[in-house]
Structure formats: C-alpha cells, structure tokens
Amino acid sequence: MAREYFGTDGIRGRVGEHPMTAEFALRLAGAAARVLAQDGGSVLIGKDTRLSGYMFESALEAGFVAAGVNVLMMGPLPTPGIAYMTQKLGCKLGVVISASHNLFEDNGIKFFDAQGGKLSDELEEQIEAQLALPPVTRPSNELGVARRVDTSRTQYQAFCRSTLPPGVTLAGLKIVVDCANGAAYKVAPRTLADLGAEIVPIGSSPNGRNINVGCGSTAPELLQLTVPGVHAQVGVALDGDGDRLLMVDHLGRIVDGDQLLFIIACARHAEGTLEGPVVGTLMSNLGLELALRQRGIAFERAAVGDRYVLARLRETGGVLGGETSGHILCLDRTTTGDGLVAALQILAIMRQSGKSLAELAAGMTRLPQVLLNLKVTQRFDPIGVPAVRQCLESLQRQLGDQGRIVLRASGTEPLIRVMVEAVEESVARACAEQLAGAVRAV
C-alpha cells in the first residue's frame, strides 16, 4: 500500500491546507489510537514553537481523549526529547508537532513508538488505512485524561548530560548556541551551562513566527559571525525541532554533518567502541567515505532520511550514522537523531583530546559538492522521465569514478534535489546545471 500522507519524516505541509488542518489532526489521533493504543494507556504530545502548534496540540488531545487514551502534554521540547520521554514515562506513543527546519507557515506531525523509535512504514500504512473511519468518542466513563507534564523536561536535560564520559565537563569552554528560536530554546542552553560551559545564546527568543528565520542549522551565518566575534571556542546550531546539528569552529567555519560524523567515528574507533559500519546516505560527501576507509572504518550508504539510516544501522549492528544536514545517530547513547546529544559527543572529544574543532575536522577533506533544489508544483520521480534519465546517464559516464550524481524527489518538501560531486567544483556545477535544466524542461 502506498502511503498518501506520511513522508520520510511524518506528515508535513502548509498550515490550513489539507492535511495540516485541525480536522485532519483530530482524525489522525483517532486513527493512531486504534492502531497503537487500542487498550488505552497514555500518549505524550510535544511540539516546537510554531504558533499553529497550539491548534494541533488541542486537536490531537481531543482525538486521543475521545478514543480513551490519556494525554500527557510536554509543550516545547526537541523531537529527540519526546522520543526519550515517551519511553521514560511509559507511554504507548509519542507525538511531535513540528515541521523541523521549515518556516512557521508549515507544520507537521510525527510519531514515536513506546521504545522511542520511529514507526515502521507498515504501521504508518495501518494508521492511514484507519483515516477513512470517523473518530470515535467513548462514553464519559471511558474517556482519557489530559494533563501537562512540562516540568519533566529536566529529566531529558539530565539524560543529555549523562551521555558525556564520566568526569568530563565543559568548564572553560565558551560556546555560542543557536536554538533556531525553536524547540530547544530552553533545554540546550541550560544543559550546556549545567555542564560548566560559558554560554552565549542566540536564536533563543521564539515568538511563534520566527522559528528557523535567519538562525539555526539552516541559516548559520549569524553563528559564524558571533563565534569569532565573542572569542568563543565553538558554536552549536540546532534546527527548529532540535534533531539536526551543525557546528562552527573558532574561526567561524561551518563543520557539517559529514565532518561531525567523521570526528565521532574516529574517536569511537580509537577507543575500540565503534561497532558495525558507519552509515551515511546517498548525499553523504565522498570525502567522508574516503577518509573513513583510510582509517580502516567501514562505511555504507542508505537512502536519504534518518529513518533509513537507522534501519540500516539496525540491520548491520552499527551504532553510528548520519546525514550531511546534521542528523547524527549515536545509538550507543540514544534511540534517535539528537542534535544536543551529538553536540555533547563532539564537545567531549574536544575536551578529551585537547584539540580544537578545526583540528578535529581537518582529517577529512570534503570533495566539492553542488546541490540544487528545484521547486515543483507536484512531486514526481524525475528518473522516470526518459529525457531526464538519459541526461543523468550521460553525465555519469562523463564523471566516471571521479564523481557522483544523486537525483531524487524530496520526501518532505515539493522539491527535486540535484546533487553532483566532482574533484573540481566547476565540473560539479556544470553537470548539476545541465541536469537541472533537463528537470526544469519537464
């Protein structure tokens, strides 16, 4: 069965347009309850700082309570925090209201199972099948009970601190932390400060509309200026829901997800705790693969989307994977991608090695990579178009083993993504533009 609503990271869209309406959220809660909480129990609902989060929170609450499920409302907390607290509080299901790195006009709904993991494709298909049925309202004595549990966020902060090696603190580090005016605006600065760091917070004043606007991991320019401007050793940039991480070294240079994955992998390998292969995606820079291979570390690629990285890690027994965009999975520390936990791993490596972030990242050389995002009115498979496929195959033959091409439809936005890697940036850009032209002609 093809999924109509669920993409690679839950359900997402423009607020007020189907399916991101209050009515759909109400039906979705009823459908999820029928699949995952037939015998009652509790569901945890968290969100980021979007204005529409209040509306969807109320609609989901009503749908679950009507179905006889108790609702615990956490308020703003990073997506991985909801994953952790779902398990910690013994809930049947965790729900996150967020459109991640998108702007406030969009929103989304995604689920975690009782173990804090993302739902399988099969479970999402079962939920979609139930959407055709009207929501159920049980008799008064069978309704669920709703209550707020936002003070429990300190348990997530304590968990994040616990992922550092024993005895390691951040005392003496000056860190600029950019929370994207999103879900981590409270817990990230507090966690870093509790570990002894001197904190300079930016992107920590949400107003419901400024999430991801000129800040966070998708817009790190302010962080790049601030870190050297205040003489900080490092900068941390999260996205709106706190599951992505980019960092900035003391000179204001970006260290992306591939480089962060490289740093953690090398440290784990050196201490003998790295299990299985490191898993990246089709979009991971070829430089990461080459650098890991030089150090005897196995590397594999999964489809784009941290759910597929996670699935491959489970298949291979691996513990470390991630995406260029900054989704880093440290399964030896937590169950899902967590920007704050990943940042703490990097900061711990800095403290233990005595090296700067710039020195740690220098071990990997990124090959020039050109990424073009082409807006479309409706998603389609570009490789299924003969003219596009012929152009792609011709360019791949030209590059040979000196580059890579990835052409795919985004799973979360109405975009066709064209990515080309080559030894020379001019070659990569020329190939990308040529392929983009073939897509635009469709």
* pLDDT band at residue 414 using 50, 70 and 90 as cut-offs: confident
Active site residues: 100
In a 10 Å sphere around its CB, with 0-12 CB exposed, 13-18 middle and 19+ buried, how is residue 390 labelled?
exposed
Give the pLDDT score at 24: 97
pTM of the model: 0.89
Pairing state between β 93-97 and 299-302: unpaired
**How many separate helices (H) and strands (E) can be counted in the chain?**
14, 18
**Neighbouring-strand partners of residue 202:** 178
Q: Which of 375, 349, 348 is nearest to 360 (CA)?
A: 349
pLDDT in tens, 236-281: 999 999 999 999 999 999 999 999 999 999 999 999 999 999 999 9
Domains and CATH numbers, the chain: 11-152 (3.40.120.10), 155-164+172-251 (3.40.120.10), 255-343+355-361 (3.40.120.10), 369-440 (3.30.310.50)
Give the pLDDT score at 164: 97
Give the pLDDT score at 13: 95
DSSP letter, residue 370: E
Mean pLDDT calculated for residue range 288-309: 93
Mean pLDDT calculated for residue range 103-131: 94
Query: Does the pLDDT of residue 1 top 70, yes or no?
Result: no
> At 105, is the secondary structure helix, strand, or coil?
coil
Q: Which of 388, 382, 369 is nearest to 438 (CA)?
A: 388
**Neighbouring-strand partners of residue 375:** 415
Residue tagged 């403290």 (tokens) = 351
Query: Does the pLDDT of residue 62 top 60, yes or no?
Result: yes
What percentage of the chain carries pLDDT values higher than 70?
A: 100
Q: What is the rounded (10 degree) CA torsion for 199, 326, 372, 311?
A: -160
Mean pLDDT calculated for residue range 302-330: 94
User: Sign of dihedral through CA atoms 122, 128, 133, 135?
Assistant: positive
Query: Does the pLDDT of residue 2 top 80, yes or no?
Result: no
Using CA atoms, how far residue 229 sits from 163, 176, 193, 256, 291, in Å, is 30, 10, 20, 21, 32
Least confident residue range of 52-61, 160-169, 283-292: 283-292
Give the pLDDT score at 420: 95
Pairing state between β 320-322 and 299-302: unpaired
What percentage of the chain carries pLDDT values higher than 90?
A: 88
165 vs 337: CA distance, rounded Å: 19
What single-letter amino acid sits at 359?
A: E
Residues 6+ away with beta carbon under 8 Å from 2: none
Query: Does the pLDDT of residue 378 top 90, yes or no?
Result: no
pLDDT in tens, 192-246: 999 999 999 999 999 999 999 999 999 999 999 999 999 999 999 999 999 999 9
In a 10 Å sphere around its CB, with 0-12 CB exposed, 13-18 middle and 19+ buried, how is residue 87 labelled?
middle
Query: Does the pLDDT of residue 45 top 90, yes or no?
Result: yes
Give the pLDDT score at 7: 86
Burial 193-213 (b: 16+ CB within 10 A, else e): ebbebbbbbbbbebeeebbbb
pLDDT in tens, 392-408: 999 999 998 778 999 99
* Angle subtended at Cα 377 by Cα 376 and Cα 383, rounded to the nearest 5 degrees: 45
* Average pLDDT of the chain, as a whole number: 95
